[in-house]
Amino acid sequence: MSDDRKPTGPESEVSAPSNFIRDFIDEDIRNNKHEGRIHTRFPPEPNGYLHIGHAKSICLNFGISRDYQGKCNLRFDDTNPVREDQEYIDSIKEDIRWLGFDWEDREYYASDYFEQLYDWAVQLIEKGLAYVCELTAEQIREYRGTLTEAGRNSPFRERSMAENLDLFARMRAGEFEDGSMTLRARINMSSPNMNMRDPIMYRILRATHHRTGDKWCIYPTYDYTHGQSDSLEAITHSLCTLEFEDHRPLYEWYIQNLGIFPSRQIEFARLNLTFTVVSKRFLLRLVKEGRVRGWDDPRMPTISGIRRRGYPPAAVRAFCDRIGISKKDSTVDYALLQFHVREVLNRDANRVMAVLDPLRVVITNYPEGQVEELEAVNNPGNPDAGARLVPFSRELYIEREDFLEDPPKKFFRLAPGREVRLRYGYFITCTEVVKDEAGNVVELRCTYDPATRGGNAPDGRRVKGTLHWVSAARALPAQIRLYEHLFTKEDPYDVGEGEDYLANLNPESEQVNRQAFVEPSLQELPAGTTVQFERLGYFCVDPDSSAEQLVFNRTVTLRDTWAKIKDK
Stretch near ligand ATP under the rule CB under 6 A, chosen from 54-62, 81-89, 170-178, 430-438: 54-62
Residue 170 carries which side chain, given as an amino acid letter? R
Indicate the residue type of 333.
Answer: D
User: What is the spatial order of strands in the sheet that 537-541 belongs to?
Assistant: 351-352, 530-533, 537-541, 550-556, 476-483, 510-518, 354-355
The string of DSSP letters for 455-492 reads: S--TT----S-EE-EEETTT-EEEEEEEE--SBSSSST
Site string for Mg ion, 347-376 (x = CB under 5 A): ------------------------------
Q: Name the residue nearer to ligand ATP (CB basis): 123 or 279.
A: 279
Question: Do 205 and 217 contact (CB within 8 A), yes or no?
Answer: yes
Whose CB is nearest to Mg ion? 45
Backbone angles phi, psi at 429, to 5 degrees: -125, 135
Instruction: List beta partners, residue 443.
Output: 360, 434
Q: Which of 33, 37, 45, 453 is catalytic?
A: 45
Q: Select the residue interacting with ligand ATP from 49, 53, 168, 541 (CB under 6 A).
A: 53
CB of 208: closest distance to ligand ATP in angstroms?
21
Closest approach of Mg ion to the CB of residue 61, in Å: 15
In whole angstroms, how close is the CB of 237 to ligand ATP at the nearest point? 12
Which of 33, 66, 157, 270 is an active site residue? 270
524 is catalytic: no
Minimum Å distance from CB 45 to Mg ion? 5
Binding segment (CB under 6 A) for ligand ATP, from list 38-46, 66-74, 114-122, 342-350 = 38-46
Among 54, 144, 172, 248, binds ligand ATP (CB under 6 A): 54
Q: For residues 51 and 246, what is the distance between their CA atoms, to the nearest angstrom? A: 24
Quick one: which of 236, 242, 235, 263 has its CA closest to 325? 242
Which region among 41-49, 151-159, 340-348, 499-507 touches ligand ATP (by CB under 6 A)? 41-49
Among 240, 349, 376, 522, binds ligand ATP (CB under 6 A): 240
Q: Which is nearer to ligand ATP, 195 or 471 (CB)?
A: 195
Smallest distance, ligand ATP to C-beta of residue 222, A: 8
Contact range with ligand ATP by CB under 6 A, out of 2-10, 48-56, 112-120, 143-151: 48-56
Burial-class residue 473 by CB neighbours within 10 Å (0-12, 13-18, 19+): middle
Q: Has 280 been annotated as catalytic?
A: yes
**Is residue 44 part of the contact set for ligand ATP (CB under 6 A)?**
yes
Cα-based distances in Å from 327 to 9, 19, 20, 271? 8, 10, 9, 11
Among residues 280, 299, 388, 418, the one annotated as catalytic is 280
CB of 240 to ligand ATP, least distance (A): 5
Between strands 237-241 and 107-109, the pairing is unpaired
Residue 172 designated active-site: no
Other beta carbons less than 10 A from residue 250's beta carbon: 21
| Residue 56 binds ligand ATP, judged by CB under 6 A | yes
Work out which of 18, 80, 123, 241 binds ligand ATP, going by CB under 6 A: 241
Q: Give the nearer residue to ligand ATP in terms of CB position, either 25 or 278.
A: 278
Rg (Cα) of the chain, in Å, rounded? 31
What region does 528 belong to: left with phi over 0, alpha with psi -120 to 50, or beta?
A: left
Spatial CB neighbours of 390, under 8 Å, sequence gap ≥ 6: 353, 373, 374, 375, 376, 424, 471, 519, 521
**Min dist. Cβ of residue 74 to ligand ATP (A):** 11
Query: Distance between CA atoms of 345 and 259, rounded to whole angstroms?
Result: 51
Site string for ligand ATP, 242-281 (x = CB under 6 A): ----------------------------xx------xxxx
* Rounded least distance, CB 221 to Mg ion, Å: 12
Which of residues 138 and 289 has its CB atom nearest to ligand ATP in the complex? 289
Burial (CB < 10 A; 0-12, 13-18, 19+), residue 375, is exposed
User: Of the ranges 42-50, 80-88, 439-447, 512-520, which one interacts with Mg ion (CB under 5 A)?
Assistant: 42-50
Is residue 45 within the footprint of ligand ATP (CB under 6 A)? Answer: yes
What residues numbered 116-155 form the site for ligand ATP, per CB under 6 A? none
**Measured from the CB atom, is 29 or 242 closer to ligand ATP?**
242
> What interhelical angle do 313-323 and 86-99 show, nearest 10?
80
Rounded to whole angstroms, how far apart are CA atoms 538 and 534?
8
The neighbour count for residue 185, using CB atoms within 10 Å, is 24
- Of Mg ion, ligand ATP, none, which one sits near residue 456, judging by CB under 5 to 8 A according to partner kind? none
Complex with ligand ATP: residue 267 or 399, whichever CB lies closer: 267
C-beta closer to ligand ATP: residue 240 or 361: 240
Q: Among residues 555, 500, 550, 502, which one has the least CA distance to residue 524? A: 550
Q: Helix 86-99 to helix 52-67 angle, to the nearest 10 degrees?
A: 60
Q: How far apart are CA 150 and CA 45, in angstroms?
A: 32
Least distance between ligand ATP and beta carbon 145 (Å): 26
The helix, strand and coil proportions of the chain, stated in percent and rounded to the nearest 5, come to: 35, 25, 40
Choosing among Mg ion, ligand ATP, none, which partner's interface includes residue 422 (Cβ < 5 to 8 Å by kind)?
Answer: none
Judged by the rule CB under 5 A, the positions of this chain that interact with Mg ion are: 45
Q: Which residues are catalytic, by number?
A: 45, 270, 280
Judged by the rule CB under 6 A, the positions of this chain that interact with ligand ATP are: 43-45, 53-54, 56-57, 240-241, 270-271, 278-281
